[in-house]
Structure 1
Amino acid sequence: MFKIDIKIAPSVLACDLSALADESIKVYEAGAHMLHLDVMDGHFVPNITFGAPVIKTLRKKLPILFDVHLMISKPYDYIKDFADAGADIITFHLEAESPAEETISLIKSFGKKVGISIKPNTPATEVFKYLPHIDMVLVMSVEPGFGGQSFIEGSIDKIREIRKEAARLGLDTDIQVDGGIDDKTVRLVSEAGANVFVAGSYIFKDDYKKAIDLLIKNAEEAKSL
């Protein structure tokens, strides 16, 4: 039986972006395990954020693991840019235009961990064949593009399906969930089998350490049930 560690990944999309480096350092010092960096191109999702140059600059400021989530139409074309910028995990969408197998191989060629993300309307079964070749599945529990959305409860069953299939294959795959995560919903998705929790507005609204500690506590309690 694998021991699957709980990890908190604050989404900087919800922080004061005029002080991105300072905010990132604060959540790192507050106990975050990784920093979730949403890259949006205004085409795959209806929003634009930042790209590799910003991540490269931020990389110089702190040693935390960089969890880069590519919400872009053609991720394959930009893998080298984000690898060179300092990404540790590169996650791309299965619904994007790039071929999944080739994108996985390219990410691995740079020595980076690979994540595949699926939108709320994509069935869990779509990622099953890739599980032996990737490190993480990101289940979107909101429609990607903007922070502060409400949690979609249908994602719970999807997480449960993926964890069951990973266990059947003997894999300790990380299952990340992003969207509407707070001290209550973290219990639901942790019990279902998720272990990496992306939280934005819940963490950045007040006391960063208190929020992170409570997410960890509630996730651990739910997992032990």
Structure 2
Amino acid sequence: MTFSRAIKIAPSILSADFANFGAECEAIEAQGADWVHVDVMDGHFVPNLTFGPATCAAIRKHIKGVMDVHLMIAPVDPYIDAFAQAGADVLTAHLEAGPHIHRTLQAIRAHGIKAGLAINPGTGIESVTELLDMVDLICVMTVNPGFGGQKFITSQVSKVQRLRQMIGDRPIHIEIDGGITPETAPLVAAAGADVLVAGSGVFKGGSVTNPAPYGENIRAIRAAAEAAR
């Protein structure tokens, strides 16, 4: 992964056809996706259950680019090895998921993969200051984690602006997760984000057998974000 602040679209397979994950991953990449975002939920840290390391390992062979794995689980540390072995390129843990986030980030990086730090809408960025030299990506949640299809929380845009100033010239991606559409993408792109996670915003209107709408949605989000820069 070469660092770049160019806009990257990362469709969330939470909105894909669960019976066709491999084909869905191939379809979104063929239609222009930069990263494939995998939302891992445990029914404990967030009120939903999705998939584990076995699913990540199964879809890895269908992904040519970056597999971006977002762990919405607590505890995190016991599962880092399994998700690293499953082929994650980026492994993101939540600041709120445990008392020793610095140790968690160390453990992720020890596997030679990129370490991400996610923060919920109700979390301030003060604690992030102490972790900037440990992270490769900061994921700002613009919905409360747990479900796809939620409404974008506009108050998080100022958080992105402050994070961008805090990061300075460090090679750290700012990722946005939640409610990304051609209408909301410009707000966060202008504020300094470069990785945009979109679930229903990408998958709506299309299917494995009719993937063209995926490409139309990806291009619309990318164009809106790039125009705002």
TM-score norm. by structure 2 comes to: 0.93
Alignment-derived partner of residue 177 in structure 1 = 176
Cα shift at 1:60: 1.7
Q: What are the within-5 Å matches in structure 2 for residues 37-52 of structure 1?
A: 37-52=38-53
- 1:71 is displaced (CA, Å) by 0.2
What CA distance in whole angstroms lies between the structure 2 residues aligned with 1:11 and 1:61?
Answer: 15
1:187 maps to a residue whose letter is P
Q: Paired residue for 1:200?
A: 199
- Which moved further from structure 2: 93-102 or 116-125? 93-102
Residues 76 and 98, structure 1, Cα contact 8 Å, conserved in 2: no
Partner of 2:21: 20
The CA deviation at 1:193 is 0.8
What is the CA distance between 1:91 and its match in structure 2? 0.1
Residues of 1 paired with 2:219 and 2:99: CA distance? 37
Task: Tell me if the contact between 2:36 and 2:63 (Cα under 8 Å) persists in the aligned partners.
Answer: no
Q: 1:137-158: per-residue Cα shift (whole Å, max 9, x none)? A: 0000000000000000111011
Aligned to 1:215: 221
Q: How much identity, in percent, do the aligned residues show?
A: 43
C-alpha displacement at 1:16, in angstroms?
Answer: 1.1
Question: In structure 2, do the counterparts of structure 1 residues 71 and 3 end up closer, same or farther at CA, with 3 Å as the change threshold?
Answer: closer
Q: Tell me the SS of whatever aligns to 2:97.
A: coil
Q: Give aligned pairs, total.
A: 220
| C-alpha distance in structure 1 between counterparts of 2:167 and 2:195, whole Å | 15
RMSD after superposition: 1.2
Letter in 1 for 2:81: K
Q: Is the 8 A contact 1:120 1:142 kept in 2?
A: yes
Task: Letter of the 1:60 partner, please give it.
Answer: K
Normalising by structure 1, report the TM-score.
0.95
The one-letter code of the counterpart of 1:157 is S
Counterpart mapping for 1:1-225 below 5 A? 4-97=5-98, 99-167=100-168, 170-206=169-205, 207-223=213-229
Runs ≥4 residues deviating over 2 A: none
Q: Which residues of structure 1 form unaligned runs of 5+?
A: none
**What secondary structure does 1:95 align onto?**
helix
Q: Deviations over 1:48-82 (max 9, x none)?
A: 00000011011122322100000001111100000
